């Protein structure tokens, strides 16, 4: 057999393979047997653990059942206690509500009584105060009636005073002076000035206006107060007599035209005055009566070159003139400022020339300083050379 094996190498290989398979089988058998043993042990351990877990679970279930029983008993007790407490609270709440209702009724009664007493006192106090106020107001009314009577007497006295022509003229002049003093400067108007050379007629006021070329012109302003014709016109209107009204209106217009004619003849003197004058009517009602007469104001301006004005209209006219004066003053100042600026311009040109000369001189001085610096460096260099030669000589 050994010789056959030696003579046949293939058989030798097959036998070796078979032996290897046999060894592997034996090893696998042994390992499988060992694994089976370990698996059996693990299964036994798992069975023990499962049994122990089942025991613990059963104990836990019993414990939970006991706890649930106790909880049920506790819930029953709690529900019974809650019912008892609710019944007690309901009884206490009913008693409290009843006591609060009784207390509220008592307090309401007390409040009603005190309120009635307060209202009674307040009403009595207010009524007394109202009666005192009414008494005071009645006293004031009686006093005002007395003052009105006194004022009416004063108006009657004033009317008597104004019946004099001179007195009316003075009153109109005073009012006109007040407007001038409140609006214009003293240097912007003149009082009682003669506007016509060689004439003794003097206008009450004249506004000093700048002329077109040079000098100044005067704007005549005169006060007129034809109160008799105006009062007759008002009386005719109050009576309702149409014919009397027409007659008084014609008389009033004639009086106004006559006053305008006098102003035009006395106070308009071109070129020393303007080509128109102003007729001041010291009462707004009088000025309004002039304006409502159809064509009267236009006729005064067209034929006599006279402008009728009332207090408010004349105040507006003076305000416009004051603004004109300010504009003229600003133009004069602007001319002066322009002259000053021209002088500054000339001086600035001279300053520029002087500055250019100074700059040229400074440039020359800078060049001279550069030359001095070059010479200084040369002298320093020479001195250094001399110093070096002295040191060598000493050595």
Return left, alpha or beta for 305; rule: phi > 0 is left, psi -120 to 50 is alpha, else beta.
Answer: left
In 3D space, the residue among 170, 181, 173 whose CA is nearest the CA of residue 318 turns out to be 181
Q: What per-residue confidence (pLDDT) applies to 146?
A: 66
Rg of the chain over all Cα atoms, to the nearest angstrom: 66
**Beta bridge mates, 190:** 206
CB neighbourhood size of 176 (10 A): 21
Q: Is 193 exposed, middle or buried (0-12, 13-18, 19+ CB in 10 A)?
A: middle
pLDDT digits (tens, 9 = 90+) for 153-171: 544 444 444 444 444 546 6
Q: What per-residue confidence (pLDDT) applies to 152?
A: 54
Q: Where are the domains of the chain?
A: 165-334
**Beta bridge mates, 223:** 280
Residue 228 CA to residue 248 CA, distance in Å, equals 10
Q: Are 312 and 284 in contact (CB under 8 A)?
A: yes
3-state secondary structure the chain: CHHHHHHCHHHHHHHHHHHHHHHHHHHHHHHHHHHHHHHHHHHHHHHHHHHHHHHHHHHHHHHHHHHHHHHHHHHHHHHHHHHHHHHHHHHHHHHHHHHHHHHHHHHHHHHHHHHHHHHHHHHHHHHHHHHHHHHHHHHHHHHHHHHHHHHHHHHHHHHHHHCCHHHHHHHHHHHHHHHHHHHCCHHHEEEEEECCCCCCCEEEEEEEEECCCCCEEEEEEEECCCHHHHHHHHHHHHHCCHHHHHHHHHHHHHHHHHHHHHHHHHHCCCCCECCCEEEECCCHHHHHHHHHCCCHHHHHHHHCCEEEECHHHHHHHHHHHHHHHHHHHHHHHHHHHHHHHHHHHHHHHHHHHHHHHHHHHHHHHHHHHHHHHHHHHHHHHHHHHHHHHHHHHHC
Backbone CA torsion sign across 16, 17, 22, 26: positive
Residue 227 CA to residue 248 CA, distance in Å, equals 12
pTM over 0.75: no
φ, ψ of residue 234 in degrees (nearest 5): -65, -40
Return left, alpha or beta for 236; rule: phi > 0 is left, psi -120 to 50 is alpha, else beta.
Answer: alpha
Q: What per-residue confidence (pLDDT) applies to 157?
A: 45
Q: What per-residue confidence (pLDDT) applies to 21?
A: 67
Q: Are 298 and 256 in contact (CB under 8 A)?
A: no
Q: What per-residue confidence (pLDDT) applies to 331?
A: 67
Q: What per-residue confidence (pLDDT) applies to 92?
A: 83
Q: What per-residue confidence (pLDDT) applies to 107?
A: 80
Residue 240 CA to residue 252 CA, distance in Å, equals 17
Q: What per-residue confidence (pLDDT) applies to 395?
A: 55
CA distances (Å), 56 to each of 44, 64, 82, 272, 328, in order?
A: 18, 12, 38, 140, 122
Q: Which residues contact 66 (CB under 8 A, 6 or more apart)?
A: none
Sheet bearing 202-210, strands edge to edge? 189-194, 202-210, 216-223, 277-280, 306-309
Below-50 pLDDT ranges, the chain: 154-167, 169
Q: What per-residue confidence (pLDDT) applies to 66?
A: 77
Residue 82 CA to residue 69 CA, distance in Å, equals 20
């Amino acid at each position: 057999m050994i010789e056959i094996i030696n003579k046949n190498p293939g058989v030798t290989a097959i036998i070796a393979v078979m032996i290897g398979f046999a060894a592997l089988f034996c090893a696998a058998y042994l390992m499988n047997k060992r694994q089976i043993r370990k698996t059996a042990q693990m299964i036994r351990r798992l069975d023990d653990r499962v049994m122990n877990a089942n025991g613990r679970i059963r104990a836990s279930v019993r414990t939970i059942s006991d706890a649930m029983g106790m909880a049920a008993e506790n819930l029953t007790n709690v529900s019974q206690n809650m019912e008892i407490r609710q019944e007690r609270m309901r009884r206490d709440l009913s008693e409290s509500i009843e006591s609060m209702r009784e207390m509220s009724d008592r307090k309401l009664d007390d409040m009603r009584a005190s309120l009635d007493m307060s209202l009674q006192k307040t009403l009595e106090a207010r009524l007394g105060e109202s009666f005192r106020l009414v008494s005071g107001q009645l006293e004031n009314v009686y006093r005002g009636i007395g003052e009105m009577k006194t004022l009416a007497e004063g108006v009657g006295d004033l009317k008597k005073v104004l019946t004099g022509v001179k007195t009316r003229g003075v009153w109109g002049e005073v009012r006109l002076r007040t407007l001038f003093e409140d609006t214009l400067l003293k240097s912007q108007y003149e009082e009682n000035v003669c506007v016509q050379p060689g004439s003794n007629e003097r206008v009450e006021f004249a506004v000093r206006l700048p002329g077109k070329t040079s000098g100044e012109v005067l704007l005549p302003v005169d006060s007129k107060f034809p109160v008799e014709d105006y009062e007759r016109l008002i009386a005719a209107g109050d009576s309702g007599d149409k014919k009397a009204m027409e007659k008084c209106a014609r008389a009033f217009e004639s009086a106004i035209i006559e006053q305008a004619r006098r102003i035009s003849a006395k106070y308009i003197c071109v070129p020393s005055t303007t080509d128109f004058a102003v007729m001041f009517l010291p009462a707004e009602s009088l000025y309004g009566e002039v304006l409502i007469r159809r064509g009267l104001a236009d006729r005064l301006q067209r034929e006599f070159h006279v402008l009728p004005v009332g207090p408010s209209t004349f105040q507006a006219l003076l305000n416009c003139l004051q603004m004109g004066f300010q504009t003229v003053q600003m133009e004069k100042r602007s001319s002066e400022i322009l002259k000053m600026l021209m002088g500054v311009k000339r001086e600035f040109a001279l300053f520029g020339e002087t500055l250019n000369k100074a700059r040229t001189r400074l440039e020359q001085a800078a060049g001279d300083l550069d030359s001095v610096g070059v010479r200084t460096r040369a002298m320093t260099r020479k001195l250094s050379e001399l110093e070096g030669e002295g040191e060598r000589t000493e050595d």
